[in-house]
């Protein structure tokens, strides 16, 4: 065995050497996958090595591979308890416990009783200081419950010598009657103790009767694009509330689905993509409606003038059909928000703010600290002493800029309140679900989440997707993935905290690329998007925790399960009570014929299209081919693709006409309405209608595989003539009114 680097295999040879393949399998790295055409694709050895290195598994030489293999066989024996234990309610599981061979050990479970903010507290890891309001302190504490001893199972396992120490294994039984929740598993032996997270999750997330009794429909929107005359150049949370009320009261909609509202950078330039945030846990204050903050009413005349001066130039942008200028909007809003922040708050409002900060705990303080540091550095590189949020350097800067930390905490509180009001507006107008939020796959590599949760993320790789028929070069989403083993060692805490925030103030939550809870496409740094490998995750744990937190929040979960996946995954999601996603344009049989509505899944959100394609009118006219040709993204002949697009349109017209849903030569509007009638005939629990389809928009919001070549995520809502459609004029649009009539037909 030599120490020479692993070499790229020859075309004639095995793609991955056997030892490397065994090591990859031991760490959940897949050496092959089935592509979108059903063909088996092999992953190169160099990719496998790079991915293993990102998993902290040395594999760069044959000798390193052998050493890592030997170490991996004993990994579980090096810890007294597993990194975490996640099980379904009503299930008895056995847990291995490792101690010195022959030593006695006791194991017990400490039940979660409640998890609530406690104030005051002796420990004060953060401080709330409000302008002119005094100071409040506190800590996030967990009140623990009963202690339940576990019995040892009659299982004999031969001891092993691990790192020159003889280690024995005792097996203990977790009973099947533990309540749902986040419990703690303890072990004690010979004066040594260990503890790990034990999570009991629901067998199934039951769908509420309010959506099972009758199909529900709602509009799907990119909120930033839906503006009103009062908007500051971008759709905001007040617009969301008005949109929810209008579409429910005037249209009978049961929900409004929105893009992720995740946090962007605190300084310009802002990343436009809602799917590449700096933090998934916290919100973008760009969506705040300044005038709706209660303290705005109590500003002095001079301060109110400052707010109006900030608003005036960007309000005019709301009627501009050109790309949305997030940077101009944020500069204006930030200036106004800083004025409002200094306004005194009533005792009740101050208490509400303090309680919000207390409930969000260390995560919010870390996020606000990151924002304050980013603002302070103003584009300069972060010095090494600020790389760790627990470092003395960070503590010093946090104290020095405590007012800015507090400002960014306040922004999150304001955004949270306004989202709650928007959701309530929809429910009060008769919606069954209200807001349907969206959770992105990940966050940016240099963002707040990556900084605060660095220990649970993999480095040197990014998440993406292999090539498919719509993105023939693959996709690189520029996001670090969860490190499977590190996340488990953290007791899945970062994932739980993310979910708890995502599940606030909504009736449903869409999980973008839910397949990422099973496996993710890891792309080594500097490699093409197509040169990646799938890494498996403990889906039983991740899905179980999702179900637990969703059940506690009373929220329906929709999993976006499109793309390349193994067939059993959809069955598994349905078994756990998670709705899937059915897209009419993609729902075809083996011969390419649209499947009948009756064959659609009932446990699904059905839509005609997706946000990664042009609106339906544009798509059926071949705009997706034209756009990719203009941008140089095609890997097939454009003529062939246009012929395929025409055949696709013809097959849709034929499917609709067979059911009497349109004529054989329908107009654009008739075809769009016919497609939505088709969806109404499905058993799908939810039907989503893209607002762009309702008003006749033809421009795509996003073209995957591009950056500056196309104004991704900057396209304002417009009609078929390209004229801006404002919120106040929504139901003046004849196409929208006609489509709403279709959607409400019995």
pLDDT, tens digit (0-9, with 9 covering 90-100), for 386-396:
999 999 999 99
Q: How far apart are CA 598 and CA 596, in angstroms?
A: 5
Winning range, highest mean pLDDT, from 118-127, 312-321, 624-633: 312-321
Check pLDDT > 60 for residue 527.
yes
Mean pLDDT value across residues 304-310: 97
Helix (H) or strand (E) holding 306: helix 301-315
**How many angstroms separate the CA atoms of 349 and 131, rounded?**
13
| Whether the predicted pLDDT of 133 surpasses 50 | no
Average pLDDT over residues 311-336: 97
- Distances in Å between the Cα of 326 and the Cα atoms of 11, 99, 264, 410 are 49, 57, 10, 21
pLDDT of residue 15: 76
pLDDT in tens, 65-83: 999 999 999 999 999 999 9
Return phi, psi of residue 463, to 5°: -90, 145
Indicate the pairing of strand 580-583 with strand 604-607: parallel
Instruction: Report which of 646, 257, 207 is spatially closest to residue 422, judged by C-alpha positions.
Output: 257
Mean of pLDDT values over 429-457: 98
Q: What one-character DSSP code corresponds to residue 482?
A: B
Q: Is the pLDDT of residue 301 over 60?
A: yes
pLDDT digits (tens, 9 = 90+) for 639-657: 999 999 999 999 999 999 9
Answer whether residue 522 shows pLDDT above 80: yes
Domains and CATH numbers, the chain: 18-74 (no CATH), 79-201 (2.60.40.10), 579-746 (no CATH)
CA-only gyration radius of the chain, Å: 27
Q: How do residues 644-699 score in pLDDT, each as one tens digit?
A: 999 999 999 999 999 999 998 999 999 999 999 999 999 999 999 999 999 999 99
- Classify residue 59 as left (phi > 0), alpha (psi -120 to 50) or beta: alpha
The answer to whether 111 and 146 have CB atoms below 8 angstroms apart is yes
Question: Using CA atoms, how far apart are residues 264 and 427, in angstroms rounded to an integer?
Answer: 28
In sequence order, what are the residues at sequence separation of 6 or more whose Cβ sits closer than 8 angstroms to the Cβ of residue 304?
296
Among 24-28, 38-42, 577-581, 731-735, the minimum mean pLDDT is found in: 38-42
- Of 514, 529, 422, whose CA–CA distance to 465 is shortest? 529
Question: Where are the alpha helices (H) located in 116-225, listed in sequence order?
Answer: 209-212
Question: Which are the contacts of 732, defined by CB distance < 8 A and separation ≥ 6?
Answer: none
**E-only strand ranges, 90-180:** 93-100, 106-118, 126-130, 134-149, 151-152, 160-162, 165-174
Region 364-381: mean pLDDT is 96
Q: At what angle do helices 62-74 and 18-26 cross, to 10 degrees?
A: 40
pLDDT of residue 468: 82
Please report which helix (H) or strand (E) contains residue 583, including its range: strand 580-583
- Would you call the peptide bond into 677 cis, given omega within 30 degrees of 0 as the criterion? no
- Is the pLDDT at 119 greater than 50? The verdict is no
Q: What is the pLDDT of residue 446?
A: 95
Please say if the pLDDT value at position 473 is more than 90. no
What is the pLDDT, as a whole number, of residue 144?
Answer: 59
Report residue 118's pLDDT band, with 50, 70 and 90 as the boundaries.
very low
Mean pLDDT rounded to a whole number for the chain: 93
Stretch 32-38: mean pLDDT, rounded? 90
Of 119-133, 190-204, 656-670, the poorest mean pLDDT is in: 119-133
Alpha-carbon distances, residue 602 vs 165, 268, 395, 431, 579 (angstroms)? 55, 44, 52, 20, 8
Q: Is residue 280 a contact partner of residue 498, using CB atoms and an 8 Å limit?
A: yes
Is 635's pLDDT higher than 90? Answer: no
Q: Is the pTM of this model over 0.95?
A: no
Q: Is the pLDDT of residue 9 over 60?
A: no
Counting residues of the chain whose pLDDT is more than 70, the rounded percentage is 94
* 33-37, 84-88, 225-229, 364-368: range with lowest mean pLDDT: 33-37
Residue 426 clears pLDDT 90, i.e. is over it: yes
> Per residue in 101-110, pLDDT tens?
999 999 999 9
pLDDT-wise least confident of 136-150, 565-579, 653-667: 136-150
pLDDT of 554-563, one tens digit each? 999 999 999 8
Token code pair at residue 195: 């503890």
Please list the residues that pair with 501 across neighbouring strands.
Answer: none
| Strand ranges (E), 239-336 | 255-258, 262-263, 279-283
Which structure tokens are listed for 148?
């339940």
Helical H runs in 347-460?
347-377, 392-400, 402-428, 448-452
**DSSP notation for 590-609:** TTSPBPPGGGS-SSEEEES-
Answer yes or no: are the C-beta atoms of 373 and 365 closer than 8 Å.
no
Name residue 435's beta-bridge partners: 256
Averaged pLDDT, 4-9: 47
Q: Which residues are within 8 A (CB) of 215 and not within 5 positions of it... i.e. 6 or more apart?
A: 680, 683, 684, 685, 686, 687
List, in sequence order, every residue forming a beta bridge with 607; answer none if it has no partner: 583, 688
**Predicted confidence (pLDDT) at residue 128 exceeds the cutoff of 70:** no
Q: Which residue has the tokens 């989202």?
A: 419
Taking Cα atoms as reference points, which of 102, 246, 259 lies closest to residue 168? 102
DSSP for residue 119? S
| Res 4: pLDDT | 52
Over residues 504-518, mean pLDDT: 98
């Amino acid at each position: 065995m030599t120490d020479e680097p692993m070499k790229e295999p020859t075309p004639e040879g095995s793609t991955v050497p056997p030892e490397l393949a065994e090591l990859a399998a031991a760490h959940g790295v897949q050496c092959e996958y089935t592509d979108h055409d059903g063909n088996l694709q092999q992953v190169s050895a160099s990719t496998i090595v790079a991915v293993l290195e990102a998993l902290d598994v040395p594999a760069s030489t044959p000798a390193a591979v052998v050493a890592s293999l030997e170490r991996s066989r004993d990994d579980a024996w090096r810890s007294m308890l597993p990194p975490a234990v996640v099980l379904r309610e009503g299930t008895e599981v056995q847990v291995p416990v490792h101690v010195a061979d022959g030593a006695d050990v006791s194991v017990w479970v400490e039940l979660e009783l409640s998890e609530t903010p406690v104030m005051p507290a002796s420990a004060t890891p953060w401080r709330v200081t409000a302008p002119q309001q005094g100071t409040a302190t506190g800590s996030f504490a967990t009140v623990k419950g009963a202690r339940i001893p576990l019995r040892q199972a009659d299982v004999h396992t031969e001891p092993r010598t691990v790192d020159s120490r003889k280690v024995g294994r005792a097996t203990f039984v977790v009973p099947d009657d533990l309540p749902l929740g986040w419990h703690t598993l303890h072990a004690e032996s010979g004066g040594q103790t260990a503890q790990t997270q034990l999570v009991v999750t629901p067998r199934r997330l039951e769908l509420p009767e309010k959506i099972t009794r009758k199909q529900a429909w709602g509009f799907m929107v990119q909120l930033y694009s839906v503006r009103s005359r009062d908007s500051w150049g971008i759709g905001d949370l007040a617009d969301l509330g008005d949109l929810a009320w209008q579409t429910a009261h005037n249209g009978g909609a049961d929900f409004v689905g929105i893009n992720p509202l995740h946090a962007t950078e605190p300084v310009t330039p802002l990343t436009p993509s809602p799917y590449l945030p700096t933090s998934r846990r916290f919100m973008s204050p760009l969506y705040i409606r300044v005038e709706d903050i209660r303290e705005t009413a109590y500003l002095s005349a001079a301060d109110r003038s400052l707010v109006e001066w900030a608003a005036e130039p960007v309000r005019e942008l709301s009627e501009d059909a050109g790309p949305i200028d997030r940077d101009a909007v944020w500069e204006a809003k930030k200036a106004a928000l800083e004025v409002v922040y200094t306004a005194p708050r009533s005792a009740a409002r101050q208490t509400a703010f303090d309680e919000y900060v207390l409930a969000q705990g260390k995560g919010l303080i870390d996020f606000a600290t990151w924002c304050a540091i980013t603002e302070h550095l103003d584009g300069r590189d972060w010095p090494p002493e600020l790389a760790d949020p627990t470092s003395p350097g960070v503590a010093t800067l946090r104290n020095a800029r405590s007012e800015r930390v507090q400002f960014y905490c306040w922004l999150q509180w304001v955004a949270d309140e306004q989202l709650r009001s928007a959701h309530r507006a929809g429910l009060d107008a008769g919606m069954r679900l209200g807001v349907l939020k969206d959770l992105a796959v990940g966050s940016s590599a240099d963002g707040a989440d990556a900084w605060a949760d660095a220990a649970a993320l993999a480095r040197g790789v990014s998440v993406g997707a292999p090539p498919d028929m719509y993105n023939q070069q693959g996709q690189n989403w520029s996001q670090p993935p969860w490190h499977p083993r590190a996340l488990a060692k953290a007791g899945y805490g970062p994932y739980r905290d993310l979910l708890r925030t995502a599940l606030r103030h909504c009736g449903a939550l869409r999980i973008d690329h839910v397949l990422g809870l099973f496996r993710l496409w890891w792309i080594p740094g500097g490699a093409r998007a197509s040169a990646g490998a799938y890494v498996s995750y403990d889906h039983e744990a991740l899905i179980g925790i999702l179900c637990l937190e969703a059940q506690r929040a009373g929220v329906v979960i929709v999993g976006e399960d499109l793309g390349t996946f193994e067939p059993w995954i959809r069955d598994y999601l349905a078994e756990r009570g998670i709705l899937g996603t059915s897209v009419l344009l993609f729902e075809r049989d083996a011969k390419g014929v649209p499947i009948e509505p009756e064959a659609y899944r009932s446990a699904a959100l059905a839509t005609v299209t997706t946000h990664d394609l042009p609106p339906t009118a544009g798509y059926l006219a071949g705009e997706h081919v034209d756009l990719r040709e203009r941008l140089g993204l095609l890997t097939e002949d454009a003529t062939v693709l246009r012929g395929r697009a025409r055949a696709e349109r013809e097959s849709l017209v034929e499917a609709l006409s067979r059911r009497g849903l349109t004529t054989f030569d329908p107009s654009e509007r008739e075809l769009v309405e016919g497609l939505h009638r088709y969806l109404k005939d499905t058993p799908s629990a939810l039907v989503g209608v893209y607002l762009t389809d309702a008003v006749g928009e033809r421009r795509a919001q996003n073209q995957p595989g591009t950056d500056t070549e196309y104004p991704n995520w900057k396209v304002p809502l417009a009609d078929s003539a390209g004229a801006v459609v404002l919120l106040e004029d929504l139901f003046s649009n004849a196409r929208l009114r006609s489509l709403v009539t279709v959607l409400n037909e019995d």
